[in-house]
Structure 1
Amino acid sequence: MIRISLIAALALATAATPALAQRAASPAQAPSLGAPSAQDWRTPNPDDVMVIDTNKGVVFVELSPAIAPTHVERIKTLTRQGFYDGRSFFRVIDVFMAQTGDPLDSGAGGSELPDMTAEFTFRRGASDPFVVVSDSGSSQTGFVGVVPVMTQSPMLMAMTADNKITAWPLFCPGVAGMARGSEENSANSQFFLMRQAYPSLERRYTGFGRVVAGLEVVRALKVGEPVSPPQDVMVRARMLADIPGAVRPTLRVVDTAGPWFAAQVAQMRAEDGADFSACNLKIPSEVK
């Protein structure tokens, strides 16, 4: 069974999507904000960071249990089983995504674990961490950690039984999503890493995290649909917490709730005006 219908999503993209992808592919607009200070950095929970060693370099993906708890747990389980070691990036589309995680390296396989119920959206309450970067009145855009998210207006919270509103991740560059077949509840082991922004995936695929370091590696993977041999591979995938302390990389990421990021938002909103997009905001990281 084909485990992903992303090609159909590609065909269904809106007319505005190519322009957005082109913008995201242009050189990064480096905000003239100076270097982040000590208070701007945070250290991710190592149990929520997937470290992917590829033949092109290392990719660090911070997982988001708040957005897709079931899918995050599946990624952790398969990573710790060694399931992803040696898996190829068998479908890589230039202005779209890089797909992997299939033991058949074809798009037709999965793990022996059961398929999962979709987590296309999640519920956000007033006390849940959320950094607002834009508010249209009817909706808000912001960040849950490093993941860009859109939500209903918080004014609706008082009208819902659980006092929460619906939210969903935006498929910006670096966002990690779960592949699936034509059935919504068919995600299993395959996942993809966004090379560019692709809004047509929103509320149709489960986003479970984001690349915080190594996006240039994802964008350097050999393109093909499918990729003809030789294919780029995940040589090894581990959770950061499982790497022995003596050789464990030290990762820190700019806090989207901090002052440096807030200043970047203000600057980009002033520069971009009506074209402002959360996908164009940068989240610096350091790996040592």
Structure 2
Amino acid sequence: MRKIIAAAAFSLLAVTAHAQNVDPNNAIALDTKDGRIVIRLRPDLAPKHVEQIKALTKRGFYDGIVFHRVIDGFMAQTGDPTGTGTGKSDLPNLPAEFSPQPFQRGSVGMARAQDPNSANSQFFICYDGCAPLTGQYTIWGEVVSGMDVVNKIKKGSSAQNGQVSNPDKIVRMRMLADAK
């Protein structure tokens, strides 16, 4: 029993240390009502996507945007200013930056339409079951702290008009260096 507790404590310390060693100029703090998610950016995999995410984050674009699509055991999607899944920013769409890096729990990928070069502002955070997306969607980051917060993200209940009421949202999203 002591070995199990010690292993769990070591694992928690390792995750915390890993999150604390992240370059604050290359990481994002995404705050929800349930806490903070820290995402390490991956310019080594997707430099154009990372630059777009940084630009939108620095503008405050993501503040108040809802998680419009949440699929238990798969992913939570956000980044649409309309909250419908059809919106985007005023920046140009991005060319695909697919990589062989496997999608796994905590991977952060760019959502897109059917056109591989249509990613803009929407992104998703993987729970589990995202492996089939590898090589078909761009990975631009990974959660290094706050997966427990990601697990709490819920989609609101559907109203009669098809709109979602009371979905969880991004309260505030900043570069980690600028987050308080």
1:186 aligns with 2:164: no
Q: Indicate the structure (1 or 2) with the bigger Cα radius of gyration.
A: 1
Q: 1:225 to 1:114 in 2, by over 3 A?
A: farther
Matched, 1:94 2:72: yes
- Is 1:214 aligned with 2:146? yes
The equivalent residue for 1:238 is 174
1:187-235 alpha-carbon deviations (Å, 9 max, x no partner):
0000000011321101000001111111111111114697831110001
Q: Displacement, 1:32?
A: 3.8
| CA gap 1:31/1:95 in 2 versus in 1, 3 angstroms | farther
Tell me the SS of whatever aligns to 2:165: coil
Which stretches in structure 1 are left out of the alignment for 5+ residues?
A: 1-28, 122-167, 248-288
Change (3 A) 1:201 1:224: farther
The answer for the alignment partner of 1:48 in structure 2 is 26
Q: What is the TM-score of this pair, normalised by structure 2?
A: 0.85
Within the alignment, does 1:80 sit opposite 2:58 as a pair? yes
TM-score (norm 1): 0.54
Q: Which runs of 4+ in 1 moved over 2 A?
A: 29-37, 223-228
Question: How far 1:57 moved relative to its partner?
Answer: 1.5
Cα distance, 1:33 vs. partner? 8.7
Distance 1:31 1:204 in 2: 40
Distance 2:80 2:127 in 1: 19
SS state at 1:79 partner: helix
Contact 1:90 1:225 in 2 (8 A): no
Could you say which residue in structure 2 is the equivalent of 1:169? 101
RMSD: 2.3
- Could you tell me which residue of structure 2 aligns to residue 195 of structure 1? 127
CA distance in 1: counterparts of 2:111 and 2:157, whole angstroms: 15
- For residue 106 of structure 1, the aligned residue among 76, 79, 84 is 84
1:68 aligns with 2:42: no
Q: Match of 2:137?
A: 205
Q: Cα deviations across residues 158-199 of structure 1 (Å, max 9, x unaligned)?
A: xxxxxxxxxx22111110000000000000000000011321
What SS does the corresponding residue of 1:169 show, helix, strand or coil?
Answer: coil
- Structure 2 portions without partners, runs of 5+: none
- Length, aligned pairs only: 168
Contact map agreement 2:155 2:168 (CA 8 A) in 1: no
Q: Confirm or deny: 8 A CA contact 2:76 2:124 kept in the other structure.
A: yes
Distance 1:225 1:47 in 2: 36
Q: Aligned partners of 2:157 and 2:124: how far apart in 1?
A: 14
207-216 or 223-232: bigger deviation: 223-232
Q: Percent identity?
A: 44
Q: Letter of the 1:181 partner, please give it.
A: A
- CA deviation vs aligned residue, 1:64-93 (integer Å, no higher than 9, x gap): 111111101111000000100000001000
Q: Alignment partner of 1:220: what SS?
A: coil
**C-alpha contact (below 8 Å) 2:64/2:171 kept by paired residues:** yes
2:170 aligns to what SS in structure 1? strand
Question: Contact conserved, 1:96 with 1:198, CA < 8 A, in 2?
Answer: yes
1:115 matches 2:93: yes
